[in-house]
Chain A
Amino acid sequence: MAVPSGKTVAAGSGQKTASADDEVLCRAIPTLPSPLAQALRHVHPALLLSLFYLRFGALVRDPVSTLLSALPAVAVLQVAYAVICLPAAGSSAAVQPAKKLRPGEKRKPVTDANAPNITSTVVVALGLSMFATFGLQIFFVLFGAPLLTHIPQTTLCSLHLSLLGLFPLFYTHGISTSDWLEILGARAPFDEAFGGLVGGCVGAWAGAVPIPLDWDREWQKWPITILCGVYGGYVAGKLIGGTLAFGKKFGG
């Protein structure tokens, strides 16, 4: 090869972040301004948490069937939330945040010729979430989840995480490579969807903490604590991402 050995000159970290900041492609996506969306935005986490709370007893008794039976409900909730509160991938609102309306100004009807088909977006996003479940499941195993046993539990747990954390992102961002590079690189700005993903993942991580304790409680069995973390983390992350941290990024 013509180019001989390179010399490594330790690259300053400043150089990298600067270049990263230059090419911001991904924007924070606010919730749609319609009253219904604004209402559902706040009802949605409450519904999720109360569903979790109501089914907790059943979850401890029989995690697999409870998780399975809760799937449609969670999916419906997530789809409803995404369709009503979030702009679908490709819509102008998803690309460019809606301008704040001045008092008295009327919103122009969205006449976007390229307006995406909501139904197909939902279906594609659901499909992608299903697909991503396997990725999540691999991560669960890599972090120490049993490899050969408890497979239904792990799969269902990652399916729930995927529906909560990934589905809204698939709905709003589609399969834009640059967007997903930003999201997976944790460079995307916080909004409800991204905050939810981060919260869900951190919650799942922290959910592993009580497992080793020798309290001999039923709820310590796999994957109940993880699910608690996922749901709690998702709701907290969504809340913070949609409000306090909105538009902000990791590392400044």
Chain B
Amino acid sequence: MPQRNQRPKDAPSEYQTIAAQYARAKRLKEIEDANKKLLGAEAKQERSGAAEKQRGAFEARRKMGYERRFGWTFAFWVWMTCIHVVGIVLFTGGFLLTRLVLDEKSECSVPPIEPLLTWEGQGSMEGGCWHPKTFDKAVVVLVDALRYDFTVPVKNLTEAEIYHNAFPFLYETAIESPNNAVLLPFIADPPTSTLQRLKGLTTGTLPTLNDLGSSFGGTAIEEDNLLMQLNTLGRRIVHLGDDTWTSLFPGYFEANISKPYDSFNVWDLHTVDNGVLEHIFPLMQKENQTKWDVLIGHFLGVDHAGHRYGPNHAAMTAKLQQMNSFVQDLVKTLDDDTVLIVMGDHGMDSKGDHGGESDDEVEAALWMYSKRPVFGRTLPEYVTPPATAKERPVNQIDLVPTLALLLGLPIPFNNLGRPIEEAFAGIKGTAWDNLAAVSRLASAGIRRYQASYFVARGIEQNSKPGSPAELWDRATESATTNTNLKGRELVYRAYTAYQEETLRICKDLWARFDVPKMALGIAVMALGVLVLLVYVSRDEDDDFAVLDDAELDLAEKSLELQDASSRTELPSYQTLSQSLVKSALIGSAIGGALGAGYVSMMSEEQDWTMAAAITALTSSLAVTISLFGLGKSLANLLPNTIWGWLGVIFTVSQSIGFASNSYTIWEDSISLFFLSTFGFVSMIAALRLPARTDRILGIYHSVVFILLGRLASFSKLCREEQMPYCTSTYYASANSSTSAPWQLALPFVVFAGLPSIIKGYLISSRSYEALAPFWIGYVFRGALGLAATYWTLDAAGNGQWLIDYLPETTLKTIQVAIAQGVLALAFVAGTTAFVWAPPCISVFTRAGSGGRTAQVTILGYGNANGARYLLLVVNFAAACMLLSKPMGSGALALMLWQVLSLVDMVDLNGLSTESIGPIVLALLGEFYYFKTGHQAVLSSIQWDSAFIPLFTLRYPWSPLVVMFNTFAGQILACVAVPLLALWKTSPKRKGGLETVTRCLGIFVAYYAVESLATMMWAGHLRRHLMLFRVFNPRFMMGAAVLLVVDVVGMLVALAGVRANTVAVSEVFGWAD
């Protein structure tokens, strides 16, 4: 067995003896104490000696000192997190689109312009407010995530996917009876989340990303919208299905007959749909028809099938077929005065997810149907519905004026959509006067909205040629000159041109950024990064990592004993956090006062984020000043070794790379490249080691590190932009989100192998002692076995293998029980065990050579700090593996293995004082983010993971579980940070806490730099074509990751180190 932890070779026995003596003294004291208690003899207590007492006093003082230092360090990290939060909030406030919400409402009797037509009942609901109404009632069926190509039959069966030809009814009716039915591609404005889409579909405005975050909650719409108009005009609305509607439109729906259903139970494909089906047909019966004017049914099955399985799954076909027969049945119940609209609110990407703005996500379908012939086409070839969504698409906001005018409602005030041609073209397709009339009304509405928006924002409208103002003038002029039917076509075209141009300008306008706020956010972040960098920079004075000298320690201790009154000044590294936090507090106080004063007195908008910005800036400045005052300087940041340079190259080149969409897209491959580079360089470094065993071990760990990274790189989930150069392997196929059968074996391989691998690493330092064998060999292995069982059962549920033996609900109950059991083992039992566990050491006594004393041997002394801390990492690994898909748990197992070889490499090459260790760990975290089936796009969030340990959505657990699934790589890396500082260090190691916080500082600094870079680039490239596809999601990911590692770093890594140190020091005594 290699005994590499014998290094340096000189006189190991001496250390052992000292340690042994120490342990003996300690044990003697314990025995003595016990005796004292037993006998209660005071005389003995007096005899126990002044020295012993004094030693106890010093121990207590050291412990108190440690607790104090820990408190200050923790406070520093709390402050750092606050700075990050303020920076991110500021930037986000200025970056994510903001749109002013106007309160004006359209009124039935006040059209925005004199209508071209005259009709009976003009200006009232009976005849139609602004335009003669076509229908009295409407049934709106929303099939969530109904992608356009689901509705287009594919004739050639060899080319057809599973989901094709399952929902042909819409297409067939549109061809067979074009005057009764229209099928069109229905383009969503991103973000393609249901909440945002419902806003667009009812208000007719463009969504802004500002609302995206509230998708989990939902907030009421206050702008003018279709439902509000219906309500004001006394129409009754009934809603069935997805409860997002109820949170957006509280109190709008007819009580008792409306049935909302919980919308986030992604694993549940049927409850919502069956509920709608159950309640919709009774409402369609004659006697119930009088109870409502507009009926909304929102199906979620297709969306959930997409999320759970991906489109390419039999469950999707079944769902689409169900929708097909449902629409067929529904059509039979319609009367002549009711219009039926079936639509998707968004599409889904190739894995069945949505949220972003890829083509597949924005292309939904729209089908309008009426028993009475109403619809027409202006050209005969338009009768065939478009083959792809690229031809003749309509915008989703276009439904708003269309539905409003068809039902005789006023168009909502904020509407930017234009009437859909087919609905107003007449059955012959030549009703140009009608088209001109509706187009003119919609245009006038848009113009009216624009005018008040510009007034509210204080912007001048421009009237250059080609501007909307000029187009408007041309259209109105055309309307007065061309009064015959043929001429009305020109009028219609002129108004359409105006609408198109206005929409384009609005899209541009609401991509309007609050640049000063963004700049402030960047400034706060940059200053935060600077503080962090200077904080972690080191000069020769604070080389506390080498203060691991038992002899020196003993000498100091005896000196201390001799001179009890001596109170040596604390070394600077111990007081660093304290003085920083103090200056931060002073700075915050000044800044807070300034900011509050400024905001409450000077500014009119009372924007308290400004006050936060000023506070953050002044306190970071104060900390920077005090850092420089303490002798830290920027010069220390310059790397002076190859390792330092590597760290700088990895971090800086990646940050620069985020300016390019290509490098952002291919980040997963780039991380592998960097990791291999590190492994390669450390292999070369290992060749330089003087001892042969060290050399071999160093090469071995480097090779393992590189090989494992390359192996993990085979787990891929490609983003759309990587096509066609990438093949997804994370799921069974590119079009599904379930695992292939062979992937189910991975968790079992992990179950069998990983505990043994960890054991191997612990045995090399003889630390597989005390709790370690039980915890890693049984508890951890048991948790992995349960997780593997969970995923097998999950696959069984998805494939319905056990459907004959077990009902689906029972299966789900078993799964949830298993998952909760694993999480309880990892977090509840795991944390308890970690806090109470003794160090991973074992003590032997044998007769000494002199025969006078017994020699005490402590196995695992050299890795007392690291081995015990590893238990915490292992607990988190178990939880993360359960919450990742089978492929992901395999990847995470490789990650843990790589982390272990990394810490050994760091130890062998003497890199514990270099910055490269934490940076490579951070890179590993990023790398495994991609290897656990994620990409820097919103649609890669595995929402279904929320239901691994739960039946329904529950706060705060569901978001927490999704977070653990999404950021498993980074969380695991963050929890492992202290290993870099503690691995193979003995209990007498001084400045352990300081080394850990420095490592954490470098680790967080990596993510902070990335976050700052993505922020800067997103801000700089805010007019880039790829902003919302590439740069914005990457910025959001960077910001989220930064906050996650901040919190995990504080609450897990730092707190874990404290618990670890307390446990180790209780046995070996307190080091400084």
Q: A1 touching B706 by the CB < 8 A rule?
A: no
Q: B8 touching A11 by the CB < 8 A rule?
A: yes
Q: B221 on the interface (CB 8 Å rule)? A: no
Q: A16 touching B910 by the CB < 8 A rule?
A: yes
Q: B706 touching A142 by the CB < 8 A rule?
A: yes
Q: B216 on the interface (CB 8 Å rule)? A: no
Q: B884 on the interface (CB 8 Å rule)? A: no
Which A residues are CB-close (under 8 A) to B912?
10
| Interface stretch (choices B243-251, B854-862, B1031-1039) | B854-862
Q: B661 on the interface (CB 8 Å rule)? A: yes
Q: A119 on the interface (CB 8 Å rule)? A: no
| A1-17 Cβ-contact flags toward B at 8 Å (1 or 0) | 10111111111110110
Q: A181 touching B548 by the CB < 8 A rule?
A: no
Known: A20-B688, A144-B672. A8 touches B677 (CB 8 A): no
Which B residues are CB-close (under 8 A) to A142?
676, 679, 706-707, 709-710
Cβ 8 A contact of B684, one of A4, A10, A143, A184? A184
Bound-complex Cα distance A212 to B549 (A): 49
Q: B546 touching A7 by the CB < 8 A rule?
A: no
Q: A5 touching B546 by the CB < 8 A rule?
A: no
Q: A104 on the interface (CB 8 Å rule)? A: no
Q: A185 touching B687 by the CB < 8 A rule?
A: yes
Q: Is the interface of A mostly helix, strand, loop or mixed?
A: loop
| B448-479 Cβ-contact flags toward A at 8 Å (1 or 0) | 00000000000000000000000000000000
Interface size on B, residues (CB 8 A): 58
| B846-868 Cβ-contact flags toward A at 8 Å (1 or 0) | 00000000000111111100000
Q: B7 on the interface (CB 8 Å rule)? A: yes
| Interface stretch (choices B12-20, B37-45, B374-382, B805-813) | B12-20
- Shortest Cβ distance from residue B523 to the other chain A in the assembled complex, whole angstroms: 31
Known: A8-B862, A10-B912, A212-B665. A143 touches B549 (CB 8 A): no
Known: A5-B765, A5-B857, A143-B673. A11 touches B910 (CB 8 A): yes
Q: B688 touching A8 by the CB < 8 A rule?
A: no
Q: B666 on the interface (CB 8 Å rule)? A: yes
Known: A16-B688, A16-B910, A250-B642. A5 touches B766 (CB 8 A): yes
Cβ 8 A contact of B12, one of A6, A205, A208? A6
- Smallest Cβ-Cβ distance to A19: which chain B residue: B690
- Smallest Cβ-Cβ distance to A4: which chain B residue: B857
Q: B885 on the interface (CB 8 Å rule)? A: no
Bound-complex Cα distance A16 to B676 (A): 25
Q: A24 on the interface (CB 8 Å rule)? A: no
Q: A139 on the interface (CB 8 Å rule)? A: yes
Bound-complex Cα distance A245 to B487 (A): 83
- Smallest Cβ-Cβ distance to A3: which chain B residue: B3
Known: A10-B546, A143-B673, A213-B662. A4 touches B859 (CB 8 A): yes
Bound-complex Cα distance A15 to B707 (A): 31
Which A residues are CB-close (under 8 A) to B5?
5-8
- Smallest Cβ-Cβ distance to B669: which chain A residue: A144
Q: A186 on the interface (CB 8 Å rule)? A: yes
Which A residues are CB-close (under 8 A) to B684?
184-186
Which A residues are CB-close (under 8 A) to B677?
143, 205
Which B residues are CB-close (under 8 A) to A251?
641-642
Which B residues are CB-close (under 8 A) to A112?
none
| A162-194 Cβ-contact flags toward B at 8 Å (1 or 0) | 000000000000000000010011110000000
Bound-complex Cα distance A12 to B912 (A): 11
Q: B673 touching A208 by the CB < 8 A rule?
A: yes
Which A residues are CB-close (under 8 A) to B538?
none
Q: B546 touching A12 by the CB < 8 A rule?
A: yes
Q: A9 touching B910 by the CB < 8 A rule?
A: no
Q: A10 touching B910 by the CB < 8 A rule?
A: yes
- Shortest Cβ distance from residue B923 to the other chain A in the assembled complex, whole angstroms: 14
- Smallest Cβ-Cβ distance to B549: which chain A residue: A9
Interface size on A, residues (CB 8 A): 33
Known: A16-B690, A143-B673. A9 touches B666 (CB 8 A): no
- Shortest Cβ distance from residue A110 to the other chain B in the assembled complex, whole angstroms: 33
Known: A10-B910, A13-B910. A5 touches B861 (CB 8 A): yes
Bound-complex Cα distance A142 to B857 (A): 43
Q: B766 touching A9 by the CB < 8 A rule?
A: no
Bound-complex Cα distance A143 to B681 (A): 12
Q: A10 touching B661 by the CB < 8 A rule?
A: no
Bound-complex Cα distance A212 to B653 (A): 14
Q: A218 on the interface (CB 8 Å rule)? A: no
| B766-777 Cβ-contact flags toward A at 8 Å (1 or 0) | 100000000000
Q: A5 touching B706 by the CB < 8 A rule?
A: no
Q: A4 touching B7 by the CB < 8 A rule?
A: no
Q: B955 on the interface (CB 8 Å rule)? A: no
Which B residues are CB-close (under 8 A) to A10?
545-546, 548, 910, 912, 985
Q: B676 touching A144 by the CB < 8 A rule?
A: yes
- Shortest Cβ distance from residue A96 to the other chain B in the assembled complex, whole angstroms: 24
Q: A214 touching B6 by the CB < 8 A rule?
A: no
- Smallest Cβ-Cβ distance to A16: which chain B residue: B690
Q: B6 touching A1 by the CB < 8 A rule?
A: no
Q: B817 on the interface (CB 8 Å rule)? A: no
Cβ 8 A contact of A187, one of B1, B662, B688, B713? B688
Which B residues are CB-close (under 8 A) to A8?
5, 7, 765, 862-863, 907, 984-986
Bound-complex Cα distance A123 to B12 (A): 50
Cβ 8 A contact of A5, one of B662, B666, B859? B859
| A229-252 Cβ-contact flags toward B at 8 Å (1 or 0) | 000000000000000000000110
Q: B680 on the interface (CB 8 Å rule)? A: yes
Which B residues are CB-close (under 8 A) to A151?
none
Chain A contacts with B in 106-135, Cβ cutoff 8 A: none
- Smallest Cβ-Cβ distance to A22: which chain B residue: B690
Bound-complex Cα distance A208 to B710 (A): 16
Q: A141 on the interface (CB 8 Å rule)? A: yes
Q: B710 touching A7 by the CB < 8 A rule?
A: no
Q: A141 touching B687 by the CB < 8 A rule?
A: no
Q: B670 on the interface (CB 8 Å rule)? A: yes
Q: B689 on the interface (CB 8 Å rule)? A: yes
Which B residues are CB-close (under 8 A) to A9?
7-8, 15, 548-550, 986
Q: B687 touching A184 by the CB < 8 A rule?
A: yes
Bound-complex Cα distance A67 to B662 (A): 28
Bound-complex Cα distance A15 to B709 (A): 32
- Smallest Cβ-Cβ distance to B547: which chain A residue: A10
Q: B986 touching A139 by the CB < 8 A rule?
A: no
Q: B663 on the interface (CB 8 Å rule)? A: yes
Q: B742 on the interface (CB 8 Å rule)? A: no
- Shortest Cβ distance from residue B860 to the other chain A in the assembled complex, whole angstroms: 6
Which B residues are CB-close (under 8 A) to A5?
5, 765-766, 857-862
Which A residues are CB-close (under 8 A) to B546?
10, 12
Q: A212 touching B670 by the CB < 8 A rule?
A: yes
Which B residues are CB-close (under 8 A) to A13?
910
Q: B548 touching A212 by the CB < 8 A rule?
A: no
Which B residues are CB-close (under 8 A) to A143?
672-673, 676-677, 680
- Smallest Cβ-Cβ distance to B679: which chain A residue: A142
Q: A1 touching B985 by the CB < 8 A rule?
A: no
Known: A1-B1, A8-B984, A205-B677. A212 touches B859 (CB 8 A): no
Which B residues are CB-close (under 8 A) to A187?
687-688
Q: B832 on the interface (CB 8 Å rule)? A: no
Which B residues are CB-close (under 8 A) to A139?
680
- Shortest Cβ distance from residue A131 to the other chain B in the assembled complex, whole angstroms: 19
Known: A10-B545, A214-B661. A144 touches B690 (CB 8 A): no
Known contacts A4-B858, A5-B857; 17 further A-B pairs (Cβ under 8 A): A5-B859, A8-B862, A8-B863, A8-B984, A8-B985, A9-B7, A9-B549, A10-B546, A16-B689, A20-B690, A141-B710, A142-B679, A143-B673, A144-B669, A144-B676, A213-B663, A214-B661
Closest 6 CB pairs of A and B: A185-B687, A6-B6, A212-B666, A4-B857, A8-B862, A5-B766
- 7 example contacts (A-B, Cβ-Cβ < 8 A) are as follows A6-B12, A8-B765, A11-B7, A11-B8, A186-B687, A214-B662, A250-B642
**Which A residues form the contact surface with B (CB < 8 A)?**
1, 3-13, 15-16, 19-20, 139, 141-144, 181, 184-187, 205, 208, 212-214, 250-251
